[in-house]
Structure formats: C-alpha cells, structure tokens
Structure 1
Amino acid sequence: MSSTRNKRSQPLWTPPPGSPPVQLKLFNSLSRKKEIFVPQNGKLVTWYSCGPTVYDHAHMGHARSYISFDILRRVIADYFGYDVFYCMNITDIDDKIIVKARCEYLLMKYKEEGLSCDKVLADAKEAMQIFLKKLSVEEDSDKKVMLERIKETVSDSIKRMEDAISSNATDSELEKAKEELITKGKDVLGKWLDSQKGADVTENSIFADLPKIYEEAFHKDMKSLNVLPADVLTRVSEYIPENIDFVQNIIDNGYGYESNGSVYFETNKFDQKENHHYAKLVPEAFGDDKALAEGEGELTKSDGEKKNPADFALWKSSKPGEPAWDCPWGKGRPGWHLECSVMASSILGQSMDIHSGGCDLKFPHHDNEIAQSEAYFDNDNWVRYFLHTGHLTINGCKMSKSLKNFITIQDALKKYTSRQIRILYLLHPWKDTLDFGTSTMEGAIQYEKSVNEFFLTVKDRLRNIPSVGVAAFDKWTPEEVELNQKFLEKKSAVHEALCDNIDTPGSMKIIKELISLTHIYLNKCDTEKRQVNRRVVYYIASYITQLLKVFGTFDEDESIGFPQGSIQSADLENLVMPYLEAMAEFRDKVRQATRGSTSQVEGILKLCDDIRDEVLPNLGVRLEDKEGRRPVIKLVDREILLQEKEEQRKAEEAKRKEKEMKAAAQAEKKKQNMIPPSELFKHETEKYSEFDENGMPTLMKDGTPVTKSALKKLKKLYDAQDKKYQDYLKSQNR
C-alpha cells in the first residue's frame, strides 16, 4: 500500500524535452554582427528607410535596396507577425537636384537662342577644354572611366560638326549636327553654362518642378516592381520649419555653431561627451576628408568656415542661383544629412527600431544622421538596428547614377518581369554585393519556370477533387507519411533560415528541395499506377504558395501558384476546365482508336496534334500527352506558350540544318572518296604545269621542279586518297 502511494505521489506528467524556439536575428551594422531582434514596444516595429534623391530615373541599383527592404518588411510583418510602421523620405532639395535643374534650364534657354553652328561649335570647344582639365586631375578610377566616356561622345559630336561645316553641308544637315552636339554634349555644355550663368537662375519653381517629375516616375517604378508603398512618405520641401527648429535645438544643446550664414555640427565636441560617439557605423572613417566633402555636396564651399575639417553642414547658406528659405542665420537650405534626421524624428520620435539604406550611405550620411539626432535628443540610441543592403554591380562595376553606369528600372522591365527581378534578389543575401547580368538573371528565370511548372502539375493532379466530404480524404500510406515528415522538416528549416538574418537564398533552396521531393512522390505514384494522395500534395503546394506571397512574388488571391497573365480568376478556371477536359478526353480516345489502323490514321493524328500544338496554345492552354494516364491540362499565359512554341521551332530548325549539314558533309566525303588518286592534283593547274603518269606533279606553274619536301607532302596526300579510293571500290563490289 505504501509503495502504491509513493508511486502515485510522483508527477503523472512531465514536460517533453525540447530546444528553445529559434529567434529572429538581423545583421545590425551598429554592432557588425547578427543580433536578436527585440522591438522597443512589443509587436510594433518603427522603421525609417532612406528614400531616393529624385534628380533622375531610378535604376536597378535603387531597386536593389527597395526590393530587398520590401522583402524584409513583408517577412517581418507577414511571416513573423510584427506590426511594421514604415516611413520613407523623398529628398527633393539637394545639390544634385539644384545643379541638374539649372543645367537643364540653361540648356533649354541656350537652344531657344537659335545660335549659329559656328557659335555652338566654339562654345562646345571652350567647354571641352575646361572639362579636359577636370579629367586630367581626377583620381577616382570609376569616375575617370565615366569622364573618358563623356569625352569620347562629345569629341565625336564636335568632329561631326566640324566636318559638316567644312564640307558646306545643307542647312538641314547643319541643324541636325548642331542639335546632336547640344544633346550629346549636355554633360559638358550644361556644366559650362552653369559655371557662367547658374547664379542668374533665381526662380524657385525651377528647382521644385524637376524633383516632382522624377518622384512620380519613382512611384510608378516601385509599383511596377510590386514594392509596397510606405505607410508615411515625407518630402524635405514640406519640412523646412522642422529643419530650422532642429538646427536651433542642436545649437542650444552646444553641438552646432553658425559661421558665415551656415551652421555646422561640431563633431569633436560631440564625440568627447561621455554618452555620445561619432561615426558609430564606420569609426575608422572618422576624418575621411574626401568622403565628408562628397557628403556635403558639390555646391558646398566651406573653406575657412569650419572649426574642424570633420565638421559637417547642418544648414547651408544659399548662394545666388540656389533655392533659399528665411531662417535665423540668413537665407539658406537644410544640409543633406540633416533632412533625414528631421523627417524620421518628426514621425518616429527619439528612438526607432530600424533604419535602413544602401551600404554606400553608412559614412558619412548615416553616421552624421545618428550624431545630429542624438545631439538633438541628447540620447545614445536613436536607432536600435541599422540595416544596409549590398551594392548592385554590372559585370563587377558599381551601378551608380553619378557614374552614369546604370540600367533604369523601366529598361530592365522591358527585358525581365518584376517577379523574375525579385526572384534574383531572393536568391542572393540582401546584405551582400549582387551582380546584375544575363547569367544571374537566367538563374532567376529558370527558378521561376521550375516553380511555375510545379504549380501547374499540382493543379492538374488536384483538379476535380472534392475539397470537403468523405471523398476528400484518403488513407495515408507509408509514402505519404514519409513525404509529410520531410515536408515538416523543410518547413522547420525554412523557419530557421528566415530567423537567420532573413536568409531568403537558403529558403529558396529549401523550396526547390521540397518541390523535388514532391515530384519524386508523384512519379512514384505514376510508376506504381496508384492514386496520388491529394491532401499532402495540396499542403505542400499551398505552403510554397503562401511563402512566395510573403516574399512579394505576387499578391493576387490565388490558392496555388502564380497568376497566369490575364487568367487570374479561379472562377474562370472552374468554368472552362470541364470543356477542356471533355475535348482532351475525346482527342485521347481518337488517338488511341487510330493506333494499329491503316486508313486515314495520319490525317486524324495530325488533326489531334494541331489541336495540341496550334489551337490550344493560342488560347493559353498547354495539353501534355501522358502514356498510361489521362492527358494533363495546364492554363498558362498565352505569351509564354507562344514563346515556348517559337523556341521549339527554332530548335527544330537548328536540328534540321545540322542534319542537312551532316548529310552534305557525308555526300562531299563520298564524292571525295570517288576520286582516283591519279586525278587528285590534276585540277590544280594554277599551281602545277606538268604531272607524271601516276598524276603526281613534277613542275610548278613557273616551270621549276617541285621540291623534294613538297613531293614528300604530296605523296602522303596521294597515299591517303589511294586508300579512300580503294575502300570506295570495295564498297561498290559488295
């Protein structure tokens, strides 16, 4: 009795052993390592992303950041379940914008003057001399390459203009040459005009109109790439009062000083404070004068105004020809670094969870943002996690607007789809450098194709299967149990990959592995001629679909798979499929019935093939004949099917030509073998003048005897031909 009581006094249940849950880690540029992600306020994530400086069309380098952060944003929100509040800015006041606006305005006015060809040519040559001096002292290798390209383009246009003038070309030809010189020489002529007349451009609307054009284009590009819009968008031009107040508060806190109408941030004083650190992201760049100067902008000349070369502009005194706003220090405009600090802090407050941008912004831009913001709030934690995407390169060279080495988003979308571009980014780590080119895009295209074919195959297997009721559930065999176990393991592996700095390449690799496992299962069912278990296949396909939705490859409400162009309605598929299946079944029965028959077989089978190969592809239907089971019907975008058909036609044409070439080569070889060795050299009368009784050359064309070395070589050819000829004779006697 006592032993029974002791036994029952022991706990009847103990918790199962297990490992702690995997937590999301992000690579934090502030610590330069992966850190467990812990938002400051529960599930709420406040996020500021550096937006574009809108002075030109966005390119694929920009897409590198915006698509990558869109993927991270979607995963953090839709997979991990955080409530993300996403803020992004538009920089519409900046030195690049000012210079480009002035150059374009002055070039427009220059064209309107109707100057003579001689005058335009003289101006271009003068501008070119100044440009060449700049080229001669340029030390940056990438910029030097860019300037060399400009030099070549403009020099060619100048040469064509000179030729047109010297050859007394027609008026229309001269006007065409002049127009080409102004257009292709805009980088040289525009800067030359700006140096002479830039200070005379005083209308603020000139500086406001240009960024509006490119901001509108940017939003269209982002929509085309399926990048989610920000929850709140800020523009510098709308935050001028807040910029002025921000600068004044930094001055009041003792970290800013006015000099000649500009205001500078005192980096050494800030860095010496016990609870402050300057250049948190790239401390080794502290004092990098070249990087600091580039961050200040090409219009900023601060010689003698700063206490220390490492100080940077919070507010810039505007010179003639620059937009300006009234402030306590005179007319001016905000510094580039200040703008983001003001807009981010106005929306997200004194500390945000995530700040993101391209890796080229780390220093000085983001380091200066951190310093001035923490000087304003007098804290040491303005940003908790700093995320930076890697560069995008073309054939190993950095893609950059300032280097004129870029592919615009719209140009890229003429060649590739938005989904293919996103898959490219998904297949590479978001924080590493990625090379954009034909080879890398081909990998993305093939990935999309294989996944899409998987979806189409699964749709075919699940078609006309009840979704509810007794018929919807089959008993699981050991094969289904094993597949499901592997599926659960792959799901767990995807979760671990996404927790590990949102490792999308790892996740995409696991998706491919899961697809391969499912194909093995389906093929085994076909081989063993047994029913596919619909449930486990559906679970896998649905999971992959939802994961790819999270990654932003598509948003439409599809139960499984990518939307197929104009075929985006599940109702349409349900409507047309019974008719397609009836037609496919009828066609299959006709094909089966004609086997072994001798009358009209070829004509009937050709009609069946024409339906499959000509009629249905034009309707967006792929029909696949499968031996031993019913035909497979897949609804596919019509353009894809027509492209596949064209590729097949080209492959067949190439195969036909190759066959013809082989046949011609064989015929030529046979023809060559039919020549008696005595006739081998006799047609070469342009080389030889006499031959012996065996047909061997004895004298050259000029009457000189054939040399011994030449005779030796000719004898080898003669003997080889003799062997071929004897083989030919033997073949004829068989």
Structure 2
Amino acid sequence: MATAQPQWQPPPTPNESVRARLPQLSVYNSLTRSKTPFVPLDGEGRKVGWYACGPTVYDDSHLGHARNYVSTDIIRRILSDYFKFDVTFVMNITDVDDKIILAARQQHLLSQWLAEHATVDSDIRDTTTKAFHAYIEKNLPLVAHDTTPHDWSHLANKAYGHVLKGQSLANDGSQPGDKEAKVKMHLRTAGSAAEVLLGSDPSMQNITAKGSGVLLPYIDSLRKHTVTGKDHDIFTILTKRYEQRFFDDMAALNVRSPDQVTRVTEYGPQIVDFVKQIEQNGFAYENEGSVYYDTTSWESTGGVYARLEPWNRNDKELQQDGEGSLSTKKTGFKKSGADFALWKASKEGEPSWESPWGVGRPGWHIECSAMASDVLGKQFDIHSGGIDLAFPHHDNELAQSEAYWSKSGKESKQWVNYFLHMGHLSIQGSKMSKSLKNFTTIREAIAKGDWTPRGLRIVFLLGAWRDGLEITGEVIKAGRAWEDKVDNLFLKIRDVQLREERLRSNKNGITNGINSLTFSDDEIRAVADELEVAKHKFRDALCDSFDTPTAMRVISDLITFYNSQKPSIVPDVIAMDLGRWVTEMVVMLGLDANHKPGQLGWSGLEIPEAAKAFVIPLAQLRDKVREQAKAGGVDITSLGRFDDKDTIYSPNQPYANANADFQRKIIELGSQSAQPKDFLAACDHVRDQILWKLDIYLEDRDGLPALIRPLSQSLREERASKDAAVASKAAAKERAKIDAEAAEKKKLDQGKLSHLDMFRTSEYSAWDSDGLPTHDVSGAEIAKSRAKKLRKDYDRQKKLHETWLGTQRADSV
C-alpha cells in the first residue's frame, strides 16, 4: 500500500509583504485537532472561501440550530469586519434526504387520509388503535405491543419508570443521554395517542393534534406506495416553507445571509456528474442501482479516510446514521464496512432523478462535495458545521471530494484547509435535536420573551464556539449581568455626549461642570491607557482561535475600570473614545441589528419617541424638586413654569398624563406647605409606580441628573426579588403575630383554672388552707422538695388565673 498522505497539508507560505499584512491568527482546526496559523489560499491573503453546512429543512429551527449558526456568524463577522478578510460565504440547504422524504410523505399521506373522514368514525378509531400498537411494538419493546390505552400508563411506568425518573435505560447508574431522551419522546407520543383514544368522544382536532405521532408512520406504511418518484411537489411544499422560516429565524437573530445559497434539488445533474467522475477515477462501484465510495481503493493509492475522526471509522451506529434508509440493507456486497453511498437507488415512495445507474437520488454526503466544489473550486479555506457532522459527514465529504479531483490519493490536494466545528447546545444532558423532539424553537423562545436575540448571542459569546454549552441558571445570569454592565456604560457615555452637545450649543460659549476642570497628566492617561491595553488584549483574544469569552471579559474589565474612576477625573473626550470603541466591538460581534452609523452605544437604550416630550421635562422638574427637598425645603416659584393645570386626560396619552399628574402633585404639596419628605415621597412614587408601569425607569445619581432609561429585565427581576423579600418578611411578621396571639390565648385559657383548685385531684389526700397538697393519695406527707416545686407551680397558676380574671372583668364593663 502507498504511503499515506500527511494529516494536514499547510497552505502555501505567502510572500513577505502578505505575511506582514496578515493577522497573527491561529484557528482550532479539526483536521489537526490543534490550533494552526490561519493563512488563506489567496496569494494576496485577502479572499477567504467558506462553505457552511446549512439546515435540513423539514421543521422549525430550534435553539440548538441557533447555537451553530449564531456562532458561525460571529466567526464570520470577526474575519470580515475585524480582520478585514474578503469572505465568500456559501451555505447549502438540504431539501432532500431521508428525514425530509419521510416527514413530507408522512404529512401528505396523513392529511389525505384525514380528509377522507368528516367525523371520528369507526375507521378513525380502529386505525388509530392499530397505529398505537404498531408504534409501541417498534419503539418501546419493554411494553407489550397489544397494551390497551386503558392499561398504557401503568405498564409504561412499570417498564420505563426509571428512565422517567432520570435514570439510564440500562438502570445501571450510568448517565442518561440521547437514548433516554428518545425513549421519553416515544413515551410522550404513545401516551398522547392513548389519551385521545380514552376520550369518550374524540374530535378530529384531537385526533390530529394528539394522535398524529402514531398515525404518521402507520398511515405511511399503508400508503407510501401511492407516491411516485416524480411527485416532487409533495416534498418541495414542505422544504420551501421551512427554508423560508429558517432564514426568517436567522434574520431575527441578526445572522447575516449567505453570499450564495445552494440547494440539493437544484444540483441533480451536477451531482450525477460528480459521482460519475469518482467512479471513472476508480474510487466507486455500483450495486443494484446504488453507487458506493470505495475506501479500500482510495487508501490503496495513498489516500486517507476518516481524517477528522479516525477513531470512529468502524462505528457502526454512526455509519448507519450516515446511510439513512440504506442502513437496513444487507451489506455483504461492500468491499469494506466503511464504504458509503454516493448515489441511492430510489425506493418505494421516494422522489427520484435519472442517472446512468437508474432512477435514484443523491447520498447525504455527496451534495456538499458537489455544491462546494462547483462554487468554491478544487480547494477552499473553511468548511464548518456542528460537531456531530465531523464523522461521517465531513470525513466522507473529504474523501469523495479528493477522489473526484485526483486520480490517486498520493497526488491529491487537500480539499479544505480548516474545518471549524461548533459545539452542541444541550438540555438535561442530551443535545437539542429535531429527532428527539426535546427542543424549543427559536421563534417560540423569542415570542415568549425567554430570550432576546442579543441575550442569546451574548450567552454564546461567553462560551467557546467549539465547546458544548448547556443553558443553566448560572449561564443566563452571567449573560444578563454582562448585558446590564454594557447597558449602564452606554447610558453614562450618552449622558456625557448630551452634555457635550449642550455645551457646544451654548450661545454664550460658557462651559461649566466637568469640562471646566483641570486634569493632571496621570488622571487623563489612566482611562486612556487602560483603553489601549484593552484594545490589544481584545485583538490577542480574537487571534487566539476567536476566543470570545476572553474578549468579552476584556470589555467587562474595561468597564469595571471606568466605573471605578470618579466622573470628575475622566475627561469627556476620553470617556467618549471608550464608548465609541466598545460600540464598534459589540456591533462587530453582531450584538446590535439596528445600529445606525455614528450612533454611540447599541440600540434599545432609548425610551419611546412619543415619551420624550413629556418624560424629559418630568425628570427635569423632579430633579429640581429632589435637590431642594434634600436641602431642606421646596420653593415652588423657583421651579419654573408649570403646564396648564386643567390639562385634559386621555387614555391614549399615558406619558402626558404622567407629566400632568406629577405637576399637579407638586403644586398641591406646595399649596399645603408640605414637608420635604412629602415631596421626596412624590418623587419616589412617580419613579417607582407611574413611570415603572410605562416601562421607563429614572436612575437617580448623586450630583447628576437622573438617567432616563427603558425598564430592563434585570431591573424587573431586581424589583420582583425585593418585593418577594418584603412579602416574605411581612408574611413572617404576620405569622409571628398570629403565633403570639395563639400563645397568648393559650396562656389565658390556662388561667381559667383557679390556683385554689388546681391540686384538688385524686393524686392527693389532704390540702392546706391555700389548696396546696400536704399528703399524697396513700396518706404520706409530701416531702419538702416536692412541696417546694408544687408551690412554684401554684404561684405560676395564680398569676395566670388573676390575669384571666382581669380580662373577664374588662369584657364585662
């Protein structure tokens, strides 16, 4: 066998002038499993060709997809906007594969079957019951397949209760994962069908909503023969819909559109030609209308197979996942167990295209090789996707693409120089997946307010792009804290900017406040120097394989340093330089979809435009009132002109009403010669109640005007936490009061018994004149120590009884 080619062939070394211009960027490369210097194939070192594996479009995109595509977008922006590479970004749309074929055909056939029934008749019930049994038999073998809907819950719990409680399927103490998530999915699906079958009168709507999980595969098994290879519309109706929804979701997340989109269904002839060329080069063979890649032949000429994850080349489960529907076919004809399909002979109910081997369709891996090679050529710089694509998908792409372009493995050129694989988003230990149905869709998460596009991207930036990420409370908290910190910086810097603008517009050219101060050189340099240090650290982080967690920390640390300085020793020009740089970096990272050129800070910091005309004067009046009240007294005449006190209210003018109400309140307090604390209470009320309900917050600052800002989620949570603490304290106080009253009542009830009678029981036989026992029941004299204790009990009861008598006399008055 020929000598194997090296694991990685570094790009050609550029000339000295190009090297000097290139950033010192190293990238974690899955081909080397290490960080390698990034050098584009372009001789000028400017152009970068990038192919990204896009979505398989048969359902809505979920947060796991967001993790992949947002992280990809972040790296793309860093390369193009920060390092100034000219990136050509190509993405494919997989609009035909086993999952799409199955999903589209099942939905089409189920809709067709349901349309044949106007109401829930006996056929609907019988078929749904059969579908329920078939689903259990195939997917939940620990439950008898003929289990009735009535017995379902009990038997399912008996068989899989340990999985539902978070144990592994083997129940051996190992960690649960995807297998357990799949079992839970099947249990939910079967349980939903059992629920609708148990209903006394299930509607068609319920059958569709709750029974479709078991009906889809069952009706498909009965009717898939009615779908022919030319019925392409059945499949494209589904894929076109979800492709558009995918790009809508990406736009909502501020993910840039690809420079070029390629679709499998538009590349049929090119894919056939691609497979033919591999076959002609001697690296493919045909069997019953399907064409397979010949790994043995490739390696015999010096090629290497499974370069990305060689340890997985014999993993039968991954191989079967890559082969899809062909995985159930007998494979005795294969020259090697690692061989995989390039072209698949069409089966019953599948779309098909003409080919030299008969009607069929592309294999999963060949689509990317043909499309990427067509657009980007024999070699290109970057190929990306989720980490689960490394093997078999990307390993197979590499092998077949190099076999297409070369007559032998020894002579082949490396098809892709850098493979970037994004880490998964996990939920409860399992990757978020369409097939596991354990996901939250992007549009659901945003619509419900669980996430904002910015908040989600911040969380991804705080994690390394190639590492797995599980959304936890700590992760969410860290993301919000970072966002709040940047929010507060931008609000402060915008306040500086407004002050500068007011000073420039001062007709008399008078300056005052901070700008009139004299700064020492050290004071001027402190923040300026820290800013320069941050810029270098930020660049170093991005040069280190796009280390965004460190880059985000650099921004956070810079803000911390700025906040530690007194505003009086930070010149406005330095503060605004800092604000502009942070703005540029967060925009570069894609954290502001609505940024306008020249805008300082990101969007979302402004109150509604309709509010400004009323809230700004309200805040200015409030500042004056607070200042005077804190100084000891409010002089209404010095506060300036008030609006017409008879302003008419309008429910459509809440901001105007808030302003008018506050002015009325201040005038009223002034006419009553109210105390300063009453004016301060009115100021607090308008901040904490009136404006809060309008989603506006006034942030009071010592010696400075209040900051006017939109109400953030963190402020809401902080208020909710404080309210909860106050409510908890009040509840505890009320409970203590009730307990004290109960104890007091118990104590009073104890006092009903007179001390004179308390010991006149059968336990004793003689008593003195006060009612204290002198002899026990046997006639023996009470011991002195015993008598002493009895006297103490007697005196205690006497006090209780006297207290009780006092309450009785009070009640009778």
The answer to whether residue 674 in structure 2 is matched with residue 623 in structure 1 is no
Indicate how the Cα distance of structure 1 residues 44 and 280 shifts in structure 2: closer, same or farther if over 3 A, else same: same
TM-score (norm 2): 0.74
Corresponding residue for residue 29 of structure 1: 30
Is 1:151 matched with 2:187? yes
Which residue number in structure 2 is paired with residue 545 of structure 1?
583
Partner in structure 1 of residue 218 of structure 2: 192
C-alpha displacement of 1:443 = 2.0
The 5 Å alignment of 1:424-435 reads 424-435=459-470
Paired position in structure 2 for 1:659: 730
Partner of 1:126: 130
Which residue does the alignment assign to 1:180? Answer: 206
Q: Among residues 284, 309, 318, which one is paired with 1:256 in the alignment?
A: 284
The answer to whether structure 1 residue 52 and structure 2 residue 55 are counterparts is: yes
Instruction: Determine which of 304, 308, 320 is the counterpart of 1:277.
Output: 304
How far apart in 2 are the matches of 1:21 and 1:384?
Answer: 17
Following superposition, the deviation at residue 288 of structure 1 comes to: 2.3
Contact 2:140/2:186 (8 A) holds in 1: no
| TM-superposed deviation, 1:691 | 12
Contact residue 626 and residue 679 of structure 2 kept, 8 A:
no
**Are residues 1:595 and 2:595 paired?**
no
Q: Does 1:564 align with 2:638?
A: no
Distance 1:314 1:682 in 2: 98
Match of 1:709 in 2: none
Q: How big is the shift at 1:460?
A: 2.0
Q: Note closer, same or farther for the CA distance 1:568–1:244 as it changes in structure 2 (3 Å cut).
A: farther
Say which is worse superposed, 667-676 or 441-450, in terms of deviation.
Answer: 667-676
Q: Which residue of 1 aligns with 2:433?
A: 400
Post-superposition offset of 1:63: 0.8
Equivalent position SS for 1:297: helix
Separation in structure 2 between the aligned mates of residue 210 and residue 698 of structure 1, nearest angstrom? 92
Q: 1:101 to 1:574 in 2, by over 3 A?
A: closer
Give secondary structure in 2 for the equivalent of 1:562: coil
Q: 1:72 aligns with which of 60, 75, 89?
A: 75
Amino acid at match of 2:426: T
Q: Contact (CA 8 Å) 2:93, 2:263: kept in 1 or not?
A: yes
Residue equivalent to 1:221: 249
Residue 214 of structure 1 deviates from its aligned partner by 0.6
Give, in whole Å, the separation in 1 of the partners of 2:309 and 2:724. Answer: 59
Query: Residues 518 and 269 of structure 1: is their aligned pair in 2 closer, same or farther, counting only changes over 3 Å?
Result: same
Which residue of structure 1 lines up, in the alignment, with residue 712 of structure 2?
640
CA separation of 1:483/1:691 partners in 2, compared to 1, >3 Å: closer, same or farther? farther
Measure how far apart 1:541 and its partner are. Answer: 1.8
Q: How does 1:284-303 map to 2 (within 5 A)?
A: 284-298=311-325, 301-303=328-330
2: CA distance, partners of 1:369 / 1:611: 64
The Cα of 1:252 is off from its aligned counterpart by 1.1
Distance 1:52 1:698 in 2: 89
What's the TM-score, normalizing by structure 1?
A: 0.82
In structure 1, what residue type is equivalent to 2:673? S
User: Residues 591 and 608 of structure 1 are in contact (CA less than 8 Å); yes or no, is this contact kept in structure 2?
Assistant: no
The one-letter amino acid paired with 2:547 is D
Q: Deviations over 1:284-333 (max 9, x none)?
A: 12232221111111366542553333211111111231111112111111
Q: Separation in 2 of the partners of 1:440 and 1:384?
A: 33
User: CA–CA distance in 1 between the matches of 2:734 and 2:615?
Assistant: 46
Q: Are the counterparts in 2 of residues 681 and 697 from structure 1 also a CA contact under 8 Å?
A: no
The residue aligned with 1:167 is none
Q: Where do 1:248-397 residues align within 5 Å? A: 248-274=276-302, 276-298=303-325, 301-303=328-330, 304-378=332-406, 379-397=412-430
Take 1:451 and 1:722, find their aligned partners in 2: how far apart are those partners? Answer: 67
Q: Is the 8 A contact 2:139 2:186 kept in 1?
A: no
- Sequence identity (%): 36
1:494-517, Cα deviation, whole Å (9 max, x unpaired): 111111111111111121111111
Tell me how far apart the structure 1 counterparts of residues 687 and 187 of structure 2 sit (CA, whole Å): 57
Do the aligned partners of residues 540 and 573 (structure 1) sit closer, same or farther apart at CA in structure 2, a change above 3 Å counting? farther
Contact 1:22 1:496 in 2 (8 A): no
Aligned CA RMSD, in angstroms, stands at 3.8
Matched-pair contact (CA < 8 Å) for 1:395–1:437 = no
SS at match of 2:353: coil
- Look up the equivalent residue of 1:43 and give its one-letter code: R
2:111 is the alignment partner of 1:93: no
**CA–CA separation in structure 2 for the residues paired with 1:562 and 1:600:** 42
Query: CA separation in 1, counterparts of 2:273 and 2:238?
Result: 27
- CA displacement at 1:247 relative to structure 2: 0.8
Between the aligned partners of 1:490 and 1:214, the Cα distance in structure 2 is 43
Residues in 2 aligned to 1:590 and 1:596: alpha-carbon distance in whole angstroms: 5
Q: Structure 1 regions of 5+ residues with no counterpart?
A: 1-18, 165-173, 684-689, 700-704, 706-711
CA gap 1:75/1:259 in 2 versus in 1, 3 angstroms = same
Q: Do the aligned partners of 1:458 and 1:537 also contact (CA within 8 Å) in 2?
A: yes
Structure 2 residue identity aligned to 1:220: D
Equivalent position to 1:608, from 657, 678, 683: 683
CA contact (8 A) 1:476 1:533 kept: no
The residue identity in structure 2 corresponding to 1:519 is: N
- Note the C-alpha offset of 1:622: 3.4
Aligned letter for 1:521? Q
User: Could you tell me how far 1:696 is from its partner in structure 2?
Assistant: 10
Q: Distance in 2 between matches of 1:366 and 1:300?
A: 18
Q: Bigger shift: 183-192 or 352-361? A: 183-192
Q: Which secondary structure does the structure 2 equivalent of 1:45 belong to?
A: strand
Is residue 90–residue 215 contact of structure 1 (8 Å, CA) maintained in 2?
A: yes
Q: Deviations over 1:70-102 (max 9, x none)?
A: 000101111111111100010001111110111
| Distance change (3 Å), C-alpha of 1:341 and 1:694 | farther
- Answer yes or no: is the 8 Å Cα contact 1:124–1:185 preserved in 2: yes
Give how far 1:537 is off: 1.6
Other-structure match for 2:500: 465
Q: Secondary structure at the match of 2:704?
A: coil
Query: Do the aligned residues in 2 keep the contact of 1:420 with 1:448 (CA within 8 Å)?
Result: yes
Aligned partner letter, 2:27 = L
CA contact (8 A) 1:326 1:332 kept: yes
Q: CA deviation at 1:485?
A: 2.2
The match for 1:423 is 458
Q: CA 1:314/1:660 → structure 2, altered by over 3 Å: closer, same or farther?
A: closer
The residue number in structure 2 matching 1:536 is 574
Whichever residue aligns with residue 305 of structure 2, its letter is: Y
What residue identity is the alignment partner of 1:212?
K
Is the alpha carbon distance of 1:695 and 1:505 closer, same or farther for their aligned partners in structure 2, counting shifts above 3 Å? farther
Give the match for residue 750 of structure 2. Answer: 679
Query: Which residue identity does 1:180 align to in structure 2?
Result: N
Cα offset, 1:580, TM superposition: 6.5
Shift of residue 654, structure 1, vs aligned partner:
4.6
Amino acid at match of 1:26: V
Distance 1:691 1:262, change over 3 A: farther
Distance 1:659 1:509 in 2: 40
